Amino acid sequence: MGLRFTLAKAAGAVSTWGLRHVAHRPAANLPGKIALKVDPVLLDELRGKCAEGSVVTVGTNGKTSTNNLLADAFEAAGRTIICNRTGANLAAGIASALLQQPAAQWGVFECDELWLAHVLPRLRSNYVLLLNLFRDQLDRCGEIDRIQTSIAGALAASPDTVLIYNADDPLCARIADTVDNLSIPFGLAESMDLAQNTVADAQMCQKCDGMIQYRYRQYGQLGDYFCERCDFARPELAYAGRDISLGAGGVTMEVCGPAACERVRTPQPTPYAAYNLVAAYALCRETGIPTAAFQRAVEAFDPRNGRLQRYRLGGRDVLLNLAKNPTGFNQNLKIVEADRGPKMVAFFINDQVADGRDISWIWDIDFEELADRPDTVVFAGGSRAHDLAVRLKYAGIEAPVVDSIDDAFVRLGALTAADVMPADAAVYAIANYTALPPVHDALNAMEAAEALRPAASAEAPAGATATVPAAPADPAGPAPSVGDGDSSSAEPPVVIAHMLPDLLNLYGDGGNVRILEQRLRWRGIPVEVRRVGHGETVELSEVDLVFMGGGPDREQKLASEQLLAMRDDLAAYVEADGPLLAICGGYQILGRQWLWGDELVPGLGIIDMETRRPGTSADRLIDNMVLESPLATHPVVGYENHAGRTYLGPGVEGFGRVVSSCGRGNNDDDRVEGARYKNVVGTYSHGPALSKNPEVADWMLARALDRRARRTGQAAPKLVPLDDAVELAANEVMVRRLAK
């Protein structure tokens, strides 16, 4: 061991002591970060502390819980371990654990997906357990294919590492297909008969341009899949969960592996717990952990780290859980929905670096499942509470903004005192990554305080007031129920064509369609949304508004081929003043050429503009932005994330001009953002674009109504003003923040 290693260990020890004894803070990351600065190959030298080897758990959802369960199982079997139990899963967190904990038989680590490429070649772990891959933090991680490439590269650099992977996830299966490492697939061999959510991450085949089909789907893209155009399909499972029972008491199944079939169970009553259970079982069997020890660990598992953590506070059952992407949130909503009793649900969303600055993904969450529940009150918290309140409004849920979980409890107490909610109403707190610790700390403090009292009171503190959440007010009278149309009305519907939502569904852009749809329904105007999937056609002469979103590169290229086949019809629609809203990739495709990866490809040529390579800078343009736009009196707020640089022709005006200190617009040169041509609006603005900008939404709708009038001969009604206080509050919060 050299001088650098000695100095790195000393720096780690000193910083650990200082953080714990002077600053009274966790020492989960900083000691390792300092030590790695001193000795960049520190992990190579520390891996010898794990005498028998190490295992690394990666995946978008469930890393911390599964890794901690594995740690418990190893210890239950009498193995000594080193583990980063706090969830500090970058190289610094793993280095800190190795520096601070005594030598052991096994290292049991979780690792961030993108950091595996830095960690695995140095640890040379015996096993990597790959749980799943879902869309997550697109501003940091990028599209999922980038993560796939990174994980495959990490495995290639550690060829003796065995990959145990979720074969029900086509994204994980593709990684196994591309590496030479020994790979062991696990999955569920039967359907859990779950209701499906609106958005899934992988609808295109991972090997060809076909679309994935399913014999059955569990949730997200997980299930028994196959492609009709090539041989890509779920592989035969080495560890298969079957005879699955999912209920309030947990998940029970039989797992059949190479040696035997054994029954296992977990008290966690969630579909993703079924996957975590079979994943952990597979790794334990491969490492020689007896099933009896594994089952003891599962039954006793109670990490108390905010993941599915339960409390009993003031006579109420409280559940706290982490959710940081659409799939995670949708699975949490299934837990809430299964509780048919009265309840409070408090959501907390932050946008710190660790969370991802772009929160457009909240529009891919099916909050509509909580609508029309008279015994359910909902609150929105976190640094992006106002954005969350907007999303919930368009789901039919009024969600007052709260400062904290304590504030939510005060309001619930006031509702109880007013006999609106019962004293034993359940509480669900769901928070994303950096929003979780303060909620966790507050609930722990409540639990500690309650332990000191002889009996808890459900009454609200003196002076607390609350209002009963209700459906958003409808200024135009009772709105028709949300659906694909209102056949009871003699008035013809406004027809919105949502182009290729199965391919162009990135960044929550489909939320724009929901916003347009709801703003018509709230005014009593019938509307029909036609979702035009891959391979389907639409008669644009019957359409009043067209929407095109953005997508991952492969999906966007496939979508562009279908749109190019429709080029003449789309051009005629635009020239006839048909309104069209195009976001990001959909916006680029409207020009003469656009950027597909590093390749310039032909566009529709409907707008005189072109998108080029970045030139000397390969940086993506990623940030919040505020625009001045002639379509709105208020500032227009959005989020950009694009690599291409778009330049407008001489006759094309911009959608707006960037006025904030952050945000770059079309090309990082002229501060122009987006494009306007006739009734076409193209923009790089996510958020979605219309969520905090109701004036722009109504500008589009006014032109859609004019189009319907020309198409049907029926006069266009005046757009009755709506109460946009929630949307404008979210707009104002971001404008103030970005003006600093």
Known binding-site residue numbers for substrate:
620
* 275 Cβ contact partners less than 8 Å away, ≥ 6 residues apart: 62, 131, 132, 166, 168, 188, 218, 222
* 197 Cβ contact partners less than 8 Å away, ≥ 6 residues apart: 219, 220, 326, 327, 330, 366
The two tokens of residue 79 are 């193995």
Q: How far is CA 59 from the centre of its chain?
A: 13
> How far, in Å, CA of 718 to CA of 739, rounded?
35
> How far, in Å, CA of 9 to CA of 189, rounded?
47
- Residue 100 near residue 94, CB atoms below 8 Å: no
Q: How far is CA 173 from the centre of its chain?
A: 21
How many other CB atoms are found less than 10 A from the CB of residue 330?
A: 22
In the residue annotation, 686 being an active-site residue is answered as yes
The two tokens of residue 75 are 């210890």
Contacts 24+ apart (CB under 8 A), 711-715: 711/541, 711/542, 711/544, 712/492, 714/491, 714/492
In the residue annotation, 358 being an active-site residue is answered as yes
> How far, in Å, CA of 125 to CA of 604, rounded?
49
Q: Which of 584, 623, 698, 724 is catalytic?
A: 584
Residue 688, preceding peptide bond in cis (omega within 30° of 0): yes
Tell me the binding residues.
205, 208, 227, 230, 620
Write the CA distances from 177 to 59, 111, 114, 480, 562, integer angstroms.
Answer: 17, 22, 19, 49, 29
Q: Which of 364, 686, 698, 724 is catalytic?
A: 686
Q: What does the DSSP assignment read for 662-697?
A: S--TTTSSS-EESEEETTEEEE--BTTTTTT-HHHH
One-letter identity of residue 182: L
Tell me the binding residues for Zn(2+).
205, 208, 227, 230
- Residue 672 near residue 665, CB atoms below 8 Å: yes
Opening angle at CA 446, ends 445 and 451, nearest 5: 100
How many other CB atoms are found less than 10 A from the CB of residue 312?
A: 11
> How far, in Å, CA of 322 to CA of 61, rounded?
10
Q: Which of 112, 139, 358, 387 is catalytic?
A: 358
- Residue 349 near residue 385, CB atoms below 8 Å: yes
- Residue 417 near residue 459, CB atoms below 8 Å: yes
The two tokens of residue 342 are 């009265």
Burial of 20 (0-12, 13-18, 19+ CB in 10 A): middle
> How far, in Å, CA of 430 to CA of 349, rounded?
9
Helix, strand, coil percent values for the chain (each to nearest 5): 35, 20, 45
Contacts 24+ apart (CB under 8 A), 334-337: 334/194, 334/195, 334/270, 334/271, 334/369, 335/269, 335/270, 335/428, 336/370, 336/428, 336/430, 337/369, 337/370
In the residue annotation, 284 being an active-site residue is answered as no
> How far, in Å, CA of 635 to CA of 659, rounded?
9
Provide the annotated active-site residues.
358, 584, 686
